[in-house]
Structure 1
């Protein structure tokens, strides 16, 4: 298992234009798949009028959980080039989203690959990369009436809470 990993410190943005199409790119630090799903849902709502919302992510200090999504673009022309930019910088715990507004001129598969690659690269070029030490991350799921007891124990143990979710129960992520 890796002792440290590279990730980005804060969100960053990029832009690439080609033949009237605009590619807005966003690099976002993330820590788990549920967070990624929520972020993607928010971006799809915000950019509801965009033709495509493509993305790639990499999770885990060992970089063993990843996905690339073309969102209707020809297979391998969007998600894979985005993931390639994440890999070229050896980053993890990151989500890169590229939103495409179609400009009326088809770019072809080669043009799409270059455009998504350049858009992702621009967002990553604007990001501050940092090295982090691996900490042991945990998740606990419990019923709402147990909230006070769980939070008290976590505080007593000096645990760092990284996220909380309230759905059919409570889920707390901590290190």
Structure 2
């Protein structure tokens, strides 16, 4: 199973004109097919006057789901090259691990036929150019810990942990105490070092409890 992958950091839009046709690429982070299809439906309403709304998406850390749709373009000239642009994207050191991402290319026809080869190049380039400019983020599977502290201590402890390089995901304030949620690498030495640091910062008054694992964006 994958322990890390790369995805787009939020939503991103990029426009490209090729032989008077306008190709507008939308990228969005998604985690389900329903979310990917919702993006297509959203853009059909927004760009109701466009001729095509072609799409491709990849889901899961292990990229277990890959889908594409030509939306009226000749078969294999839009969705497949879009999906290839996503699947073959190198995100560092030759790694191709882009996932949890949907791409929709809205095409406004400019009156000049591009031919099958021209369409393949246009849709592939549209997604590739968008990925060139889009902010990407690395996600890793992290051990999640909860630290219960009194309200008056929570802010100081959170600041001290962040200053020491600990990734604090947030603080929840309950009626009796606050709970800091932190993410750590899964290695035993990282946990040991964190436990020692927490004991020092809290004078031994705080301990961390395991909350499981989650996919976390790199800071």
Q: Does 1:115 align with 2:122?
A: yes
Q: Which residue of 1 aligns with 2:112?
A: 105
Query: Quick check: which has more Rg, 1 or 2?
Result: 2
Q: Which residue of 1 aligns with 2:157?
A: none
Deviations 1:124-165 (A, max 9, x none): 1121111101379xxxxxxxxxxxxxxxxxxxx999xxxxxx
Confirm or deny: 8 A CA contact 1:51 1:101 kept in the other structure. yes
Shift in CA distance, 131/21, structure 1 to aligned 2, threshold 3 Å: same
Q: Which residue of 2 aligns with 1:150?
A: none
Confirm or deny: 8 A CA contact 1:82 1:120 kept in the other structure. yes
Q: Which residue of 2 aligns with 1:33?
A: 33
Q: How many residues align?
A: 141
Q: Residue 37 of structure 1: CA displacement?
A: 2.1
Deviations 1:43-95 (A, max 9, x none): 11001100000010000000010101000100110001111111122310000
Secondary structure of residue in 1 paired with 2:62: coil
Q: Which residue of 2 aligns with 1:7?
A: 7
Alignment of 1:136-147 (within 5 A): none
Q: Which residue of 2 aligns with 1:171?
A: none
CA distance in 2, matches of 1:121, 1:102: 20
Q: Which runs of 5+ in 2 are unaligned?
A: 90-95, 144-178, 182-213, 215-219
Confirm or deny: 8 A CA contact 1:10 1:127 kept in the other structure. no
CA distance in 1, matches of 2:180, 2:41: 33
RMSD: 2.0
Q: Which runs of 4+ in 1 moved over 6 A?
A: none
Q: Which runs of 5+ in 1 are unaligned?
A: 137-156, 160-174
CA distance in 2, matches of 1:73, 1:87: 21
Give TM-score scaled by structure 2 length.
0.60
Q: Which has the higher contact order (CA 8 A, sep 6+)?
A: 1
CA distance in 1, matches of 2:134, 2:49: 26
Q: Does 1:64 align with 2:64?
A: yes
